[in-house]
Amino acid sequence: MSLSIANKIGVCGAGTMGNGIAQITATFGHEVVVYDQSDEALSKAKAGLIKIMNRLVEKGRLEQSESEQIIGRIEYTNDLNKLSDSGLVIEAIIENLEIKKTLFQSIEELVAEECILASNTSSLSIASISSALKKPERFLGIHFFNPAPLMPLVEIIPGVATDHSVTDSAKKLIADWGKTTVLAKDTPGFIVNRVARPFYSESIRMLEEGVADAATIDWALTELGGFRMGPFTLMDFIGHDVNYIVTETVFEAFFYDPRFKPSFTQKRLYEAGFLGRKTGRGFYDYHDGATNPEPNKDYLLGKYILNRVLVMLINEAIDAVFMNVASKEDVELAMTKGVNYPKGLLHWADEIGLEHVLTSLQELQNEYGEDRYRPNPLLKRMVTNKKTFFGAS
């Protein structure tokens, strides 16, 4: 199967992700049809794209003529039939398995045999969506990050039924759009949404225990760790509705492995409608005139906080390699390009020493007696054999 006929691309869903994906594909010269069932969503998407294009022209990043060509390549429609001559269809509608399956069944009836079908799902399995298709070998996950035109990473997720040639074609096409692609196994959270969980969960755990307040934990991770945003600022930015649901979905999908256990603190914020920036209140207060606490810049406390989050993140990155979710190189790319971590977690592990990572996790496990801190077998094996991930052994 080849993507040579993919000059025309179909995008389903004119929301945040669909419109961003349409912008990318039109920028790279494809004719694009954006389908949505809601006329309101379609007109909002078109107006949003024009606004972005105007801004790019004002900033001198695009010529006026280029901007007009990009807009001219995208057709917004509520008629699914217009997808019929697409070479690739990328779906980015509501995150609901039954609705996605129904849509793909209708699309499969319309498009050519060679057309590749992809979902941008964040949390559903590729296998479950593909079960609705007559030809599941042409289906895969293509997971963009928000905002799609700006974020360099795309996770490519073949399902159990996906044909190798489909994966290869999709990977090549998306690399041609200037994106960094990583290959992930069809497992919950793929790479980024799995490995990143402790950034939030271990920080909330320390807040709940009273180790430090949100401002201090954010300070430790940004100032001492080099992360662009602290976990509490980031969760307030993402929104607790989105971040909590991802956490809960990953936890359930891992058959309730305690490593991924959600917190009551975040659940309560979600239940109360304190969703973060967008509602004016989350871990912090965003109302005009509100004052938020200053961090306690105690260096030793900060180091303890950073180390605890970091070793948990490293353990998760190692698990992704151990369970063959992705190669060690792709795990590094995913976390630096998908969530802007200052360093790849496995390089970071080499730098602080795998023995130190193991000892820290063992100390936490001894202190709390909880399985969430169990060190990964690959970490133990590497320490025993005095190995490193990238450096000389």
Dihedral over Cα of 339, 343, 345, 346: its sign: positive
14 contacts ligand NAD (rule: CB under 6 A)? yes
Three-state secondary structure of 376-389: CHHHHHHHHCCCCC
Q: Kindly report the CA angle at 134 between 158 and 79, in degrees rounded to 5? A: 95
Residue closest to 96 by CA, chosen among 119, 68, 117: 119
Amino acid in the structure at residue 202 = E
189 contacts ligand NAD (rule: CB under 6 A)? no
64 contacts ligand NAD (rule: CB under 6 A)? no
- Shortest spacing between CB 52 and ligand NAD, in angstroms: 15
318 contacts ligand NAD (rule: CB under 6 A)? no
Among 17, 161, 221, 306, binds ligand NAD (CB under 6 A): 17
Q: Which of 19, 67, 86, 143 is catalytic?
A: 143
Q: Which residue reads 């239940």 in tokens?
A: 271
- Shortest spacing between CB 38 and ligand NAD, in angstroms: 4
Q: Report the DSSP beta bridge partners of residue 155.
A: 143, 182
Instruction: Please state the separation of Cα 39 from the chain's center in Å.
Output: 28
Q: Which of 119, 120, 122, 203 is catalytic?
A: 122
Residue closest to 314 by CA, chosen among 210, 215, 389, 207: 389
Determine the residue with CB nearest ligand NAD: 15
41 contacts ligand NAD (rule: CB under 6 A)? yes
Buried-exposed string 168-207: b where 16+ CB fall within 10 A, e elsewhere: ebbbebbeebebbbbbbbbbbbbbbbbbbbbbbbbbbbbb
Residue 203 falls in the annotated catalytic set? no
37 contacts ligand NAD (rule: CB under 6 A)? yes
The CA dihedral of 296, 297, 299, 301, to the nearest 10 degrees, is: 20
384 contacts ligand NAD (rule: CB under 6 A)? no
Residue 193 falls in the annotated catalytic set? yes
Judge contact between 52 and 58, C-beta under 8 A: no
Structure tokens at 80: 């699914």
Q: Which of 169, 193, 307, 315 is catalytic?
A: 193
Q: Which stretch binds ligand NAD (CB under 6 A): 118-126, 160-168, 210-218, 220-228?
A: 118-126
Nearer to ligand NAD, 10 or 344 (CB): 10
- Shortest spacing between CB 19 and ligand NAD, in angstroms: 8
321 contacts ligand NAD (rule: CB under 6 A)? no
Judge contact between 46 and 26, C-beta under 8 A: no
- Shortest spacing between CB 192 and ligand NAD, in angstroms: 10
- Shortest spacing between CB 284 and ligand NAD, in angstroms: 21
Q: Which stretch binds ligand NAD (CB under 6 A): 26-34, 114-122, 250-258, 262-270?
A: 114-122
Among 39, 61, 64, 94, binds ligand NAD (CB under 6 A): 94
Residue 289 CB-density burial (10 A; 0-12 exposed, 13-18 middle, 19+ buried): exposed
How crowded is residue 351: how many other Cβ atoms within 10 Å of its Cβ?
Answer: 13
Among 1, 3, 11, 12, binds ligand NAD (CB under 6 A): 12
Q: Report the DSSP beta bridge partners of residue 160.
A: none
Q: Which residue reads 């960094």 in tokens?
A: 180
- Shortest spacing between CB 123 and ligand NAD, in angstroms: 6
User: Total residues at the site for ligand NAD (CB under 6 A)?
Assistant: 23
Structure tokens at 337: 């390009």
Structure tokens at 292: 């938020």
Residue closest to 194 by CA, chosen among 136, 128, 97, 122: 122
15 contacts ligand NAD (rule: CB under 6 A)? yes
Residue 155 falls in the annotated catalytic set? yes
243 contacts ligand NAD (rule: CB under 6 A)? no
Q: Which stretch binds ligand NAD (CB under 6 A): 33-41, 166-174, 213-221, 353-361?
A: 33-41
Active site residues: 122, 143, 155, 193
| Footprint on this chain of ligand NAD (rule: CB under 6 A) | 12-18, 36-38, 41, 92-95, 99, 103, 120-122, 144-146
